[in-house]
Amino acid sequence: MAKISVIVPVYNVAPYIRRCLNSILEQTFGDFEVLCVNDCTPDDSMKIVDEFIERYPGKVKRLDNEKNLGLGASRDRGMKSASGQYLVFFDSDDYVKPDFLETYIRELERTGADIAVGGYIRVSGEKEVVFSMKDTPDMPWLYPAVWMRMYRRSFLQEHGLDFRGIRTYEDNPFNYRCLLEGASITVIDYCGYYYVCNPASITRTKNGVEKYRRFMGNFREVYEEYNKTKAFAIYKELLEYVYFSAILSCLLLQCRHAGKEAAYGMYEDFKLQMHQMFPGYLRNKRIGFGKTKEEQRKVRYASSIYRMAERMGLGRLLIWLLSF
Protein backbone atom coordinates (compact mmCIF):
# COMPACT_ATOMS: atom_id res chain seq x y z
CA MET A 1 0.00 0.00 0.00
CA ALA A 2 1.36 3.40 -1.04
CA LYS A 3 0.85 6.67 0.81
CA ILE A 4 -0.11 8.53 -2.38
CA SER A 5 -1.73 7.26 -5.57
CA VAL A 6 -0.92 9.30 -8.68
CA ILE A 7 -3.57 8.74 -11.36
CA VAL A 8 -2.61 9.53 -14.96
CA PRO A 9 -5.10 8.95 -17.80
CA VAL A 10 -3.26 8.26 -21.06
CA TYR A 11 -4.57 9.08 -24.51
CA ASN A 12 -2.61 10.25 -27.56
CA VAL A 13 0.25 11.84 -25.61
CA ALA A 14 3.34 10.06 -26.95
CA PRO A 15 5.33 13.34 -27.25
CA TYR A 16 4.62 14.23 -23.60
CA ILE A 17 4.12 11.13 -21.45
CA ARG A 18 7.83 10.43 -20.88
CA ARG A 19 8.39 13.91 -19.46
CA CYS A 20 5.29 13.57 -17.27
CA LEU A 21 6.32 10.21 -15.79
CA ASN A 22 9.93 11.25 -15.31
CA SER A 23 8.79 14.28 -13.30
CA ILE A 24 6.66 12.03 -11.08
CA LEU A 25 9.33 9.41 -10.55
CA GLU A 26 11.92 12.04 -9.62
CA GLN A 27 9.88 13.18 -6.61
CA THR A 28 11.62 13.87 -3.31
CA PHE A 29 8.78 11.99 -1.57
CA GLY A 30 9.04 8.31 -2.44
CA ASP A 31 6.02 6.50 -0.98
CA PHE A 32 3.67 6.59 -3.97
CA GLU A 33 2.31 4.53 -6.84
CA VAL A 34 1.59 5.67 -10.39
CA LEU A 35 -1.57 4.33 -12.04
CA CYS A 36 -1.49 4.88 -15.81
CA VAL A 37 -4.97 4.39 -17.25
CA ASN A 38 -4.85 3.47 -20.93
CA ASP A 39 -7.93 5.01 -22.53
CA CYS A 40 -7.42 2.99 -25.74
CA THR A 41 -4.80 5.41 -27.00
CA PRO A 42 -4.12 5.00 -30.75
CA ASP A 43 -0.47 6.08 -30.59
CA ASP A 44 2.67 4.71 -28.92
CA SER A 45 1.96 6.24 -25.50
CA MET A 46 1.53 2.87 -23.78
CA LYS A 47 4.79 1.53 -25.21
CA ILE A 48 6.49 4.35 -23.33
CA VAL A 49 4.46 3.57 -20.20
CA ASP A 50 5.52 -0.08 -20.47
CA GLU A 51 9.16 1.03 -20.46
CA PHE A 52 8.57 2.71 -17.11
CA ILE A 53 6.77 -0.35 -15.77
CA GLU A 54 9.88 -2.42 -16.58
CA ARG A 55 12.17 0.13 -14.95
CA TYR A 56 9.97 0.62 -11.87
CA PRO A 57 8.20 -2.68 -11.22
CA GLY A 58 5.43 -2.34 -8.65
CA LYS A 59 5.76 1.44 -8.72
CA VAL A 60 4.24 2.15 -12.11
CA LYS A 61 1.10 0.18 -12.96
CA ARG A 62 -1.02 -0.10 -16.07
CA LEU A 63 -4.82 -0.19 -16.24
CA ASP A 64 -6.57 -0.69 -19.58
CA ASN A 65 -10.04 0.55 -20.47
CA GLU A 66 -11.93 -1.81 -22.78
CA LYS A 67 -12.97 1.15 -24.92
CA ASN A 68 -12.29 4.88 -25.06
CA LEU A 69 -14.20 6.43 -22.15
CA GLY A 70 -12.69 9.88 -21.62
CA LEU A 71 -10.97 11.56 -18.69
CA GLY A 72 -13.66 11.24 -16.05
CA ALA A 73 -14.18 7.49 -16.43
CA SER A 74 -10.42 6.93 -16.64
CA ARG A 75 -9.88 8.81 -13.41
CA ASP A 76 -12.68 6.80 -11.83
CA ARG A 77 -10.93 3.61 -12.95
CA GLY A 78 -7.75 4.81 -11.29
CA MET A 79 -9.57 5.70 -8.07
CA LYS A 80 -11.06 2.19 -7.82
CA SER A 81 -7.62 0.61 -8.11
CA ALA A 82 -5.77 3.10 -5.91
CA SER A 83 -4.27 2.00 -2.59
CA GLY A 84 -3.04 5.38 -1.35
CA GLN A 85 -4.38 7.42 1.53
CA TYR A 86 -4.11 10.47 -0.72
CA LEU A 87 -4.94 10.93 -4.41
CA VAL A 88 -3.60 13.26 -7.08
CA PHE A 89 -4.73 13.45 -10.70
CA PHE A 90 -2.16 14.54 -13.27
CA ASP A 91 -2.77 15.17 -16.96
CA SER A 92 -0.38 13.15 -19.08
CA ASP A 93 0.87 16.11 -21.13
CA ASP A 94 1.84 18.10 -18.02
CA TYR A 95 4.65 17.75 -15.48
CA VAL A 96 5.50 18.71 -11.90
CA LYS A 97 8.37 20.00 -9.77
CA PRO A 98 10.36 17.38 -7.80
CA ASP A 99 8.92 18.50 -4.44
CA PHE A 100 5.26 18.53 -5.54
CA LEU A 101 4.11 15.42 -3.64
CA GLU A 102 6.23 16.23 -0.58
CA THR A 103 4.85 19.78 -0.36
CA TYR A 104 1.22 18.73 -0.69
CA ILE A 105 1.24 15.76 1.66
CA ARG A 106 3.14 17.71 4.29
CA GLU A 107 0.42 20.37 4.22
CA LEU A 108 -2.44 17.87 4.41
CA GLU A 109 -0.86 15.99 7.30
CA ARG A 110 -0.05 19.24 9.12
CA THR A 111 -3.58 20.66 8.81
CA GLY A 112 -5.75 17.54 8.64
CA ALA A 113 -7.62 19.12 5.71
CA ASP A 114 -9.46 17.06 3.11
CA ILE A 115 -8.03 18.87 0.09
CA ALA A 116 -4.84 20.84 -0.49
CA VAL A 117 -4.78 23.41 -3.31
CA GLY A 118 -1.73 25.11 -4.80
CA GLY A 119 -0.83 27.29 -7.75
CA TYR A 120 0.49 26.37 -11.16
CA ILE A 121 2.65 27.50 -14.06
CA ARG A 122 0.98 27.85 -17.44
CA VAL A 123 3.36 26.84 -20.25
CA SER A 124 2.74 28.00 -23.81
CA GLY A 125 5.73 27.39 -26.04
CA GLU A 126 8.66 29.15 -24.39
CA LYS A 127 6.40 31.38 -22.30
CA GLU A 128 5.62 30.58 -18.66
CA VAL A 129 3.06 32.41 -16.53
CA VAL A 130 2.80 31.74 -12.79
CA PHE A 131 -0.63 31.59 -11.12
CA SER A 132 -0.34 31.75 -7.34
CA MET A 133 -3.41 30.98 -5.27
CA LYS A 134 -4.65 33.43 -2.66
CA ASP A 135 -5.95 31.92 0.57
CA THR A 136 -9.52 33.20 0.34
CA PRO A 137 -12.87 31.40 0.70
CA ASP A 138 -13.68 32.00 -2.98
CA MET A 139 -10.46 30.68 -4.49
CA PRO A 140 -11.23 26.91 -4.47
CA TRP A 141 -14.47 27.61 -6.39
CA LEU A 142 -12.82 29.86 -8.95
CA TYR A 143 -9.99 27.46 -9.83
CA PRO A 144 -11.55 23.98 -9.93
CA ALA A 145 -8.85 22.06 -11.84
CA VAL A 146 -8.17 18.71 -10.16
CA TRP A 147 -4.46 18.72 -11.01
CA MET A 148 -3.95 21.67 -8.62
CA ARG A 149 -5.08 19.52 -5.72
CA MET A 150 -4.32 16.56 -3.49
CA TYR A 151 -7.30 14.75 -1.98
CA ARG A 152 -7.72 12.74 1.19
CA ARG A 153 -9.12 9.50 -0.15
CA SER A 154 -11.21 8.74 2.94
CA PHE A 155 -13.19 11.98 2.41
CA LEU A 156 -14.03 11.02 -1.17
CA GLN A 157 -15.04 7.54 -0.10
CA GLU A 158 -17.16 8.78 2.81
CA HIS A 159 -19.22 11.02 0.50
CA GLY A 160 -19.28 8.70 -2.52
CA LEU A 161 -17.46 11.22 -4.69
CA ASP A 162 -16.01 10.36 -8.07
CA PHE A 163 -16.09 11.79 -11.59
CA ARG A 164 -19.38 10.07 -12.48
CA GLY A 165 -17.80 8.79 -15.68
CA ILE A 166 -18.07 12.26 -17.22
CA ARG A 167 -16.20 12.24 -20.52
CA THR A 168 -14.88 15.81 -20.56
CA TYR A 169 -15.00 18.98 -18.41
CA GLU A 170 -15.22 16.81 -15.33
CA ASP A 171 -13.09 18.99 -13.04
CA ASN A 172 -15.74 21.59 -12.21
CA PRO A 173 -18.55 19.23 -11.17
CA PHE A 174 -16.20 16.98 -9.21
CA ASN A 175 -14.75 19.83 -7.17
CA TYR A 176 -18.08 21.61 -6.71
CA ARG A 177 -19.46 18.38 -5.26
CA CYS A 178 -16.46 18.15 -2.92
CA LEU A 179 -17.05 21.70 -1.72
CA LEU A 180 -20.80 21.26 -1.34
CA GLU A 181 -20.15 18.12 0.72
CA GLY A 182 -18.17 20.26 3.16
CA ALA A 183 -14.56 19.47 2.26
CA SER A 184 -12.05 21.36 4.40
CA ILE A 185 -9.49 23.16 2.22
CA THR A 186 -5.93 24.25 2.83
CA VAL A 187 -4.24 26.60 0.35
CA ILE A 188 -0.51 26.29 -0.27
CA ASP A 189 1.70 29.21 -1.23
CA TYR A 190 3.44 27.03 -3.80
CA CYS A 191 3.36 26.61 -7.60
CA GLY A 192 4.63 23.19 -8.59
CA TYR A 193 2.44 22.04 -11.47
CA TYR A 194 3.31 22.85 -15.09
CA TYR A 195 0.11 23.10 -17.12
CA VAL A 196 1.07 22.74 -20.78
CA CYS A 197 -1.13 24.40 -23.41
CA ASN A 198 -1.25 21.49 -25.82
CA PRO A 199 -3.10 22.47 -29.05
CA ALA A 200 -4.11 18.82 -29.58
CA SER A 201 -5.67 18.40 -26.14
CA ILE A 202 -9.33 17.48 -25.65
CA THR A 203 -10.32 20.97 -24.51
CA ARG A 204 -8.79 22.59 -27.61
CA THR A 205 -10.27 20.47 -30.39
CA LYS A 206 -13.30 21.49 -32.48
CA ASN A 207 -17.05 20.63 -32.25
CA GLY A 208 -17.94 23.75 -30.28
CA VAL A 209 -21.67 23.12 -29.93
CA GLU A 210 -21.15 19.63 -28.53
CA LYS A 211 -18.47 20.88 -26.14
CA TYR A 212 -20.74 23.68 -24.91
CA ARG A 213 -23.59 21.22 -24.35
CA ARG A 214 -21.37 18.88 -22.33
CA PHE A 215 -20.03 21.75 -20.26
CA MET A 216 -23.51 23.12 -19.53
CA GLY A 217 -24.82 19.61 -18.85
CA ASN A 218 -22.15 18.95 -16.23
CA PHE A 219 -23.04 22.15 -14.39
CA ARG A 220 -26.74 21.42 -14.66
CA GLU A 221 -26.27 17.99 -13.07
CA VAL A 222 -24.62 19.49 -10.00
CA TYR A 223 -27.40 22.08 -9.77
CA GLU A 224 -30.14 19.43 -9.94
CA GLU A 225 -28.38 17.33 -7.31
CA TYR A 226 -27.70 20.08 -4.76
CA ASN A 227 -30.00 23.05 -5.38
CA LYS A 228 -32.35 22.10 -2.54
CA THR A 229 -29.61 21.45 0.00
CA LYS A 230 -28.51 23.66 2.88
CA ALA A 231 -24.99 23.88 1.46
CA PHE A 232 -26.33 25.23 -1.84
CA ALA A 233 -28.29 27.91 -0.02
CA ILE A 234 -25.19 28.95 1.92
CA TYR A 235 -23.06 29.29 -1.23
CA LYS A 236 -25.82 30.39 -3.62
CA GLU A 237 -24.40 33.82 -4.46
CA LEU A 238 -20.93 32.43 -5.08
CA LEU A 239 -22.33 29.51 -7.08
CA GLU A 240 -24.36 31.94 -9.16
CA TYR A 241 -21.18 33.79 -10.02
CA VAL A 242 -19.02 30.75 -10.77
CA TYR A 243 -21.77 29.22 -12.90
CA PHE A 244 -22.20 32.45 -14.84
CA SER A 245 -18.50 33.19 -15.33
CA ALA A 246 -17.42 29.62 -16.13
CA ILE A 247 -20.25 28.76 -18.52
CA LEU A 248 -20.00 32.18 -20.17
CA SER A 249 -16.27 31.63 -20.76
CA CYS A 250 -17.09 28.30 -22.42
CA LEU A 251 -19.87 29.90 -24.48
CA LEU A 252 -17.69 32.74 -25.76
CA LEU A 253 -14.87 30.35 -26.64
CA GLN A 254 -17.13 27.92 -28.49
CA CYS A 255 -18.93 30.70 -30.37
CA ARG A 256 -15.69 31.76 -32.01
CA HIS A 257 -15.92 30.87 -35.71
CA ALA A 258 -18.90 28.59 -34.98
CA GLY A 259 -21.13 30.29 -37.51
CA LYS A 260 -24.13 32.51 -36.81
CA GLU A 261 -26.78 29.82 -36.44
CA ALA A 262 -24.75 27.63 -34.05
CA ALA A 263 -23.59 30.63 -32.00
CA TYR A 264 -27.12 31.98 -31.61
CA GLY A 265 -28.33 28.54 -30.53
CA MET A 266 -25.73 28.30 -27.77
CA TYR A 267 -26.42 31.89 -26.70
CA GLU A 268 -30.18 31.34 -26.36
CA ASP A 269 -29.63 28.09 -24.47
CA PHE A 270 -27.19 29.83 -22.11
CA LYS A 271 -29.68 32.56 -21.28
CA LEU A 272 -32.54 30.10 -20.79
CA GLN A 273 -30.65 27.72 -18.52
CA MET A 274 -29.01 30.45 -16.46
CA HIS A 275 -32.41 32.06 -15.94
CA GLN A 276 -33.88 28.72 -14.85
CA MET A 277 -31.10 28.10 -12.32
CA PHE A 278 -30.33 31.66 -11.18
CA PRO A 279 -33.01 34.14 -12.34
CA GLY A 280 -31.11 37.20 -11.11
CA TYR A 281 -27.65 36.18 -12.27
CA LEU A 282 -26.89 39.42 -14.11
CA ARG A 283 -27.37 41.35 -10.85
CA ASN A 284 -24.74 39.32 -9.01
CA LYS A 285 -22.56 41.76 -7.06
CA ARG A 286 -19.40 39.79 -7.81
CA ILE A 287 -19.55 40.75 -11.51
CA GLY A 288 -17.46 43.80 -12.35
CA PHE A 289 -14.06 44.87 -13.62
CA GLY A 290 -12.77 45.49 -10.10
CA LYS A 291 -14.66 42.69 -8.36
CA THR A 292 -13.69 39.10 -7.44
CA LYS A 293 -10.00 39.87 -7.82
CA GLU A 294 -8.97 36.25 -7.19
CA GLU A 295 -10.51 35.49 -10.60
CA GLN A 296 -8.41 35.64 -13.77
CA ARG A 297 -8.57 39.11 -15.29
CA LYS A 298 -9.80 37.93 -18.68
CA VAL A 299 -12.71 36.10 -17.01
CA ARG A 300 -13.67 39.15 -14.95
CA TYR A 301 -13.54 41.37 -18.03
CA ALA A 302 -15.55 38.93 -20.16
CA SER A 303 -18.25 38.72 -17.49
CA SER A 304 -18.41 42.49 -17.13
CA ILE A 305 -18.51 43.19 -20.87
CA TYR A 306 -21.19 40.57 -21.45
CA ARG A 307 -23.38 42.02 -18.70
CA MET A 308 -22.98 45.51 -20.17
CA ALA A 309 -23.91 44.21 -23.61
CA GLU A 310 -27.01 42.45 -22.28
CA ARG A 311 -28.17 45.53 -20.39
CA MET A 312 -27.78 47.60 -23.57
CA GLY A 313 -29.62 45.02 -25.64
CA LEU A 314 -26.44 44.16 -27.56
CA GLY A 315 -25.83 40.60 -26.36
CA ARG A 316 -26.92 39.09 -29.65
CA LEU A 317 -24.61 41.44 -31.54
CA LEU A 318 -21.68 40.40 -29.35
CA ILE A 319 -22.31 36.75 -30.14
CA TRP A 320 -22.70 37.55 -33.85
CA LEU A 321 -19.30 39.26 -33.90
CA LEU A 322 -17.68 36.21 -32.29
CA SER A 323 -19.31 33.74 -34.68
CA PHE A 324 -17.25 34.66 -37.75
Span 242-277, pLDDT tens digits: 999 999 999 999 999 889 999 999 999 999 999 999
Average pLDDT in the 60-66 region? 97
Average pLDDT in the 58-84 region? 97
pLDDT for residue 204: 43
| Residue from 289, 307, 194 nearest 252 by CA | 307
pLDDT for residue 303: 96
Q: Is 199's pLDDT higher than 80? A: no
| Residue from 117, 113, 114 nearest 135 by CA | 117
Q: With contact defined as beta carbons under 8 Å apart, do 173 and 221 qualify?
A: yes
In angstroms, the CA 253 to CA 243 distance is: 15
Work out the pLDDT band at 200, boundaries 50, 70, 90: low
pLDDT for residue 217: 96
pLDDT for residue 205: 42
Higher pLDDT, 324 or 297: 297
Give Cβ neighbours of residue 8 (< 8 Å, ≥ 6 apart): 20, 21, 24, 34, 35, 36, 37, 78, 89, 90, 91, 92
First-to-last alpha carbon distance for the chain, in angstroms, is 54
Average pLDDT in the 148-163 region? 98
pLDDT mean across residues, the chain: 95
Per-domain residue ranges for the chain?
Answer: 4-200, 206-322
Type and span of the H or E element at 190: strand 185-196
In angstroms, the CA 309 to CA 110 distance is: 48
Q: Is 94's pLDDT higher than 90? A: yes
Q: Compute the half-sphere exposure of residue 14: CA atoms within 13 Å on the CB side of its CA.
A: 9
pLDDT for residue 206: 62
Q: Is 202's pLDDT higher than 50? A: no
pLDDT for residue 1: 87
Higher pLDDT, 324 or 225: 225
Q: With contact defined as beta carbons under 8 Å apart, do 267 and 322 qualify?
A: no
Average pLDDT in the 167-196 region? 96
Options 3.20.20.70, 3.40.50.150, 3.30.300.30, 3.90.550.10; CATH for 4-200 is 3.90.550.10
Q: Is 203's pLDDT higher than 60? A: no
In angstroms, the CA 324 to CA 315 distance is: 15
Q: With contact defined as beta carbons under 8 Å apart, do 207 and 107 qualify?
A: no
* Whether the model pTM is above 0.85: yes
Average pLDDT in the 113-118 region? 98
Average pLDDT in the 129-140 region? 94
pLDDT for residue 322: 83
